[in-house]
Amino acid sequence: MNDNAPPTSVGSGSTGRIHPGTSCAARVVRVVAAVLCALGLSAVAASPARADPTAGGDLQVAQTLGDRDLTFMLRRVTGLPGPLHVDVLTHRGTAAGTLRLGAVPTGVSADRAEGSSAGTTTSRASVRLGGTPGSYGAALDIDRAGPWELVVDDGSRTARIPFVVPGQATSPPELAVFGGFVTAGVLILVTLFVAVRVRRGAWVLLPAGGVVAALAVAVTAALLSASLPPPPQPGGQVDATNDNVTDPYAVVRPVTNDYSRPPVSLELGSYPATAGERGTLRLSVTDGATGLPADDLVVHDGALMHLLVIGPTGELWHLHPIRTAPATYEVRLRLPAAGHYAVSAEFARLGGGVQQVRSATGLTVADGSAHNGSARGGSSRNGSARGGAPALPAELTPQGPGTRTIEGVPVRLSAPSPTAGEASTLTARIGDTPTLQPWLGMVGHMIVVGPLDKADATSPTRMGQAAQGAPVWAHAHSMGGDMSGHSAHDMPAAPAHDADAMGHGDAGGMEHGDADAMGHGDADAMEDGHETGKGDGHGAGTGSMSGLMPLNGDSPADETVAAYGPDASFVYTFSRPGYYRVWIQAERDSAILTVPYLLRVSPAGGAR
């Protein structure tokens, strides 16, 4: 819009130099100039909300690559051709080594020439991971807009991470605004020329009318563009192709705006490893309607797929399988105990809809000691399930609310009398200082499984089986500290948004609606509040969710920012009374802490 100021100033500046001979024409020109100024100002004041579907920040993808838990940050490509900066964040215990990265364009195009190199690696780089947790970077060359894959090879397996490089598209309303102002500018010159040269003043009305018409078009387009829905977003709502990424507006708009897709079937491959051995679990995702491979998972909460595995001892794994081929994922596991493991995956398909799919089968791990002598790996957790219950390590033993120590970190959970059907607030204070790092974009994660009967919920050998049949698996997030203290001083501008962000947890069951709240696209809503919120949150030391919010369309804080907590609050409504297993996860000192709890939820209506 501001680019269009020159025609305006040309018009008004020129009034002073009008030839005095044609008073009628001069009056017309003055009127035109006044109208122009007024319209110009109104148009600037009501600057159109750019319907830019491709605006986005960095892409954050967690990957369990072999034995390494890595987070890949794909920085936004700001110009084409240009570099794609990839930062690999490592955690405590990540082995040093070298990863080979490659960029592969995958987009098809109606234009043969443009799509011809799809599938070939156009750029390579390598990242040398050090032995200490940190960020290790590399840059790849990106030469076109469209769908791409980042290929990551650790020497024995290859992860393929899909991402979309947005094009620079101009929306039709923008074109109308530019066109209108340029036309108006040209016609003003014509008007002036006519006014000065032509004897009969009436002729000047013709180009002057054109000026008004052109301005009307420009201003109308500017005002209406704010209310026009953006086109479907390639890679977010519809499959990305080279064509629709380059110009989303060129694609014929469907009459529906429901882009949702059917649920999927999650199939587990056979898991050959025995207890204590390393083994690879393959997962395939097929479309529930067609049975075809569903290769349209989008990054949701910082990963393509969140895999939850609950073992017989009640140990929880929260892993992020790598995508090795279309609709095929795999993850390396070392399951320490024999017995049944319940498996659930959470992901979002393109077009919306987070799904949490529990594997109908789970997996059963045989006792490895029969032919292995003793389980390999020698961890204290490798107790055999045979011959009575092994003693659970203290860190795996679930406890009720209170203080306990996990990996040397004191953790205090408060959960004031959780009651079925009522929103409960669980607050975990992890450590004493606000040094939590946002893992997967969140200060804390809470996994809930239940209700179970007490014997199952406390069994050191049957928890996997019990989880397999539990009515509810839920996953709630904490965006920051205690909400009660939050509204007092933080972010007066965006309270509604906060309520959203925090409110998702009380939806019960599998619902998981915080993708919006984390702001893949809603930077506008956050623009007002983030600065004060961030400052307050850090200063107050009790943490604020606001610092996690993306600023101006940028990305939320990543794991390199250790400034949250120590409180992580979760709001969740237990639908039924009974015993629940709860795991709270947070990142501190570049390591993920997993804290198991056992909660008893009272029946509604005061019957305690």
Work out how close the CB of 358 gets to Cu ion at its nearest, in angstroms, rounded to a whole number: 15
* Stretch binding Cu ion (CB under 5 A), from 43-51, 303-311, 484-492, 590-598: 303-311
Report, in Å, the least distance between residue 89 CB and Cu ion.
14
Which of 456, 459, 503 lies closest to 479 in space, CA to CA?
A: 503
Piece in contact with Cu ion (CB under 5 A), picked from 125-133, 211-219, 306-314, 462-470: 306-314
Which residues, numbered 334-363, are part of the site for Cu ion (CB under 5 A)? Answer: none
Q: Is 475 in the site for Cu ion (CB under 5 A)?
A: no
Q: Which is nearer to Cu ion, 303 or 446 (CB)?
A: 303
Residue type (1 letter), 169: A
- CB of 592: closest distance to Cu ion in angstroms? 10
CB of 100 to Cu ion, least distance (A): 25
For Cu ion, the binding residue among 144, 160, 300, 306 (CB under 5 A) is: 306
| Closest CA relative to residue 22, chosen from 200, 163, 267, 246 | 200
Nearer to Cu ion, 105 or 302 (CB): 302
| Residue 182 token pair | 């340029």
Q: Which CB sits closer to Cu ion, 303 or 452?
A: 303
Nearest distance from C-beta of residue 475 to Cu ion, angstroms: 8
Of 6-14, 73-81, 304-312, 428-436, the segment contacting Cu ion by CB under 5 A is 304-312
CB of residue 273 to Cu ion, shortest distance in Å: 22
69 vs 154, beta carbon nearer Cu ion: 69
Amino acid in position 12: S
Looking at the Cβ atoms of 187 and 308, the one nearer to Cu ion is 308
d(Cα 510, Cα 204) in Å, to the nearest integer? Answer: 69
Q: Which two tokens stand for residue 4?
A: 């269009």
CB 463 within 8 A of CB 447: no
Taking the CA atoms of residue 299, residue 301, residue 307 and residue 310 in that order, the dihedral angle to the nearest 10 degrees is 180
- Taking the complex as a whole, the smallest distance from the CB of residue 59 to Cu ion amounts, in Å, to 15
What does the block give as tokens for 105? 């364009």
Question: What's the closest the beta carbon of residue 558 comes to Cu ion, in angstroms?
Answer: 15
Question: Nearest residue to Cu ion, using CB?
Answer: 306
303 vs 333, beta carbon nearer Cu ion: 303
Which residue type, as a one-letter code, is found at position 539?
Answer: G
| From 8-16, 296-304, 512-520, 578-586, span contacting Cu ion (CB under 5 A) | 296-304
- Number of residues interacting with Cu ion: please give it, by CB under 5 A: 2
Do residues 282 and 330 lie in contact, with contact meaning Cβ atoms separated by under 8 Å? yes
Q: How far is the CB of 305 from Cu ion (least distance, A)?
A: 8
How far apart CA 275 and CA 369 sit, in angstroms, is: 8
Closer to Cu ion by Cβ: residue 219 or 428: 428
Stretch that binds Cu ion, among 301-309, 321-329, 406-414, 582-590 (CB under 5 A): 301-309
Q: Which long-range contacts (CB under 8 A, 24 or more apart) does 241-244 make?
A: 241/107, 241/108, 241/109, 241/146, 241/147, 242/107, 242/108, 242/109, 242/111, 242/114, 242/115, 242/144, 242/145, 242/146, 242/147, 243/109, 243/110, 243/111
Query: 393 preceded by cis ω (within 30°)?
Result: no
The number of angstroms, rounded, from the C-alpha of 549 to the middle of its chain's C-alpha atoms is: 11
Contact in structure between 557 and 548 (CB atoms under 8 Å) = yes
Residue (303 or 582) nearer to Cu ion, CB: 303
Nearer to Cu ion, 303 or 396 (CB): 303
Q: Which positions lie near Cu ion, rule CB under 5 A?
A: 303, 306
